[in-house]
Amino acid sequence: CLFRHNTYLQECTGVRDPSYPYNVHDVKLLVLKFAQEKSFSEDSGGGGRQSNMHLLPFIMHMALYVINTTRSVTREEKNLGNFLDAIKDKWIENCYETEGPLYWTTMALHILSPAKWKERRVKLLDRCMVLAQTRHVTPGGTKTLADKAVKEYSVYKPYLVFFGIINEVYQKVFKKVSVNGDNSWSSAVADYIRHNDKALIEACDRVLAAYQDEMLPCESFSEFCDVVGLLEEIPDPDSYLTDLFASLP
């Protein structure tokens, strides 16, 4: 079935090897639609917020199947680590790469356990905020951040909501996933998606409610940190962005 699907993609797009990174990009673009509050029918011709939120874990399952069968978890964990550990001179360039901050935030959902996500999520948020600032100041591309002044909340809001949705999927959709024995997080999540349709749909509805009723109404970075539970890691949200941008070369 996957072979037929990939053959169809090859015929339609000309891409020779439509492997799991394309599925991760699909998840990223779906979450970005929510974050930017765009219509889901603009590109695909159908579906509202609820049906598209329900779709999210099943697109993930396609990526997880290939990640697990090709034993790519260790490689992707290393790639994610290299991205997060990159020197700050590279952060601005990363904002214009195909596999940039949003891609790796999405990939994290596929390969990092909730404990590892919580350990690294502020580092991923750092990169998403630098992405927001850089693309706002210089949409065409640059290697240095010319303007480090913090902008209005609306500049950062789509990227914060993107991060918030990924965080909510961990907390609500995959809350009951347990990793046993030698299984990796990727294997455990794939098994959970395969066997828990009803629970997934109900949990996705809770993510949608959090998105609509809690994240979208936020009017400041401080309020967002409170809503998504980041105040323990970012105790001074008012100075967070100023300090982050000032630390860049």
pLDDT digits (tens, 9 = 90+) for 79-90: 999 999 999 999
Q: Which two tokens stand for residue 115?
A: 């404990």
| Range 216-222 average pLDDT | 98
Ordered DSSP codes for 22-57: HHHHHHHHHHHHHHTT--TTTTSS---HHHHHHHHH
Domain count, the chain: 1
- The answer on pLDDT for 238 being more than 70 is yes
Q: Look at 14 and 51; give whichever has higher pLDDT.
A: 51
- The answer on pLDDT for 1 being more than 80 is no
- The answer on pLDDT for 189 being more than 90 is yes
Task: Note the pLDDT of residue 105.
Answer: 98
Q: How confident is the model at residue 40 (pLDDT cuts 50, 70, 90)?
A: confident
- The answer on pLDDT for 15 being more than 70 is no
Phi, psi for residue 41 in degrees, rounded to 5: -90, -5
* Angstrom distance (rounded) from CA 170 to CA 162: 13
* Domain span at 235: 20-246
Query: Cα angle at 185 between 9 and 159, to 5 degrees?
Result: 65
Only one residue has tokens 């999540």, namely 189
| Range 69-98 average pLDDT | 95
Q: Which two tokens stand for residue 183?
A: 């299984």
In a domain, 9, yes or no: no
In a domain, 13, yes or no: no
* CA 73, 28, 95, 147 torsion-angle sign: negative
Encode pLDDT of 96-155 as tens digits.
Answer: 999 999 999 999 999 999 999 999 999 999 999 999 999 999 999 999 999 999 999 999
**pLDDT, mean over the chain:** 92
In a domain, 89, yes or no: yes
Task: Note the pLDDT of residue 180.
Answer: 80
Q: Which of 62, 84, 91, 88 is nearest to 4 (CA)?
A: 62
Cβ(172)–Cβ(209) under 8 Å? Answer: no
Phi, psi for residue 248 in degrees, rounded to 5: -80, 145
* Angstrom distance (rounded) from CA 210 to CA 164: 9
In a domain, 8, yes or no: no
- The answer on pLDDT for 241 being more than 70 is yes
* Angstrom distance (rounded) from CA 228 to CA 237: 13
In a domain, 11, yes or no: no
- The answer on pLDDT for 2 being more than 70 is no
Q: Which two tokens stand for residue 141?
A: 């591309």
In a domain, 1, yes or no: no
Give whole-number Cα distances, 43 to 2, 15, 21, 40, 64, in Å.
Answer: 23, 19, 20, 7, 25
In a domain, 51, yes or no: yes
Give whole-number Cα distances, 192 to 13, 184, 244, in Å.
Answer: 31, 12, 37
In a domain, 7, yes or no: no
